[in-house]
């Protein structure tokens, strides 16, 4: 999906799998893949920012826990969908089966 070097430099990398917008995110030692559209009103989370293990939406400022997908308190939306990743020495791969289950 992308190289570990690129992700370390950018921290948020956009990708597309089976027509779905996906983000690959690195926050410290944590690497996760998740949907690109915010579960609240579909803002582009690639324009958000990372802090304290959370991805902050650029539109209304809800935030999502990178480990669980849970949304910050008080927001009427489901958790952020996260997808399995596999790492090798140089690259990061996304588990396409976990995405296909959502199509
Ligand atoms: S669109 Fe993301 S918090 Fe509203």
CATH number (domain holding residue 54): 2.102.10.10
Structural domain including 9 reads: 2-100
Q: What is the C-alpha to C-alpha distance for residues 92 and 87, in angstroms, rounded to an integer?
A: 5
- Split at pLDDT 50, 70, 90, the class of 96 is confident
Q: What is the pTM of this model?
A: 0.91
Looking at the chain, the whole-number percentage of residues with pLDDT higher than 90 is 82
CA of 69 to the centre of ligand 1 (A): 14
- Residue found under tokens 């958000």: 48
Closest C-alpha to 23, from 5, 39, 7, 8: 7
The confidence score (pLDDT) of residue 95 equals 84
Ligand 1, pocket-test mutation among 36, 41, 54, 72, most atoms within 8 A of CB: 41
For 12, the token pair is 């948020």
CB under 8 Å to 67, separation ≥6 — which residues? 30, 32, 53
Say how far residue 2 (Cα) sits from the centre of its chain: 14
Count: domains in the chain: 1
Residue 35: is its pLDDT beyond 60? Answer: yes
pLDDT score recorded for residue 100:
66
């Amino acid at each position: 999906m992308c190289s570990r070097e690129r992700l370390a430099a950018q921290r948020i990398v956009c990708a597309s799998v089976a027509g779905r917008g996906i983000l690959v995110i690195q926050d410290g030692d944590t690497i996760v893949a998740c949907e690109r559209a915010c579960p609240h009103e579909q803002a582009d989370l690639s324009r958000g920012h990372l802090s304290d293990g959370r991805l902050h939406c650029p539109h209304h400022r809800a935030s999502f826990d990178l480990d669980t997908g849970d949304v910050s308190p008080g927001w009427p939306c489901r958790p952020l969908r996260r997808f399995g990743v596999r790492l090798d020495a140089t690259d990061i791969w996304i588990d396409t089966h976990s995405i296909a289950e959502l199509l």
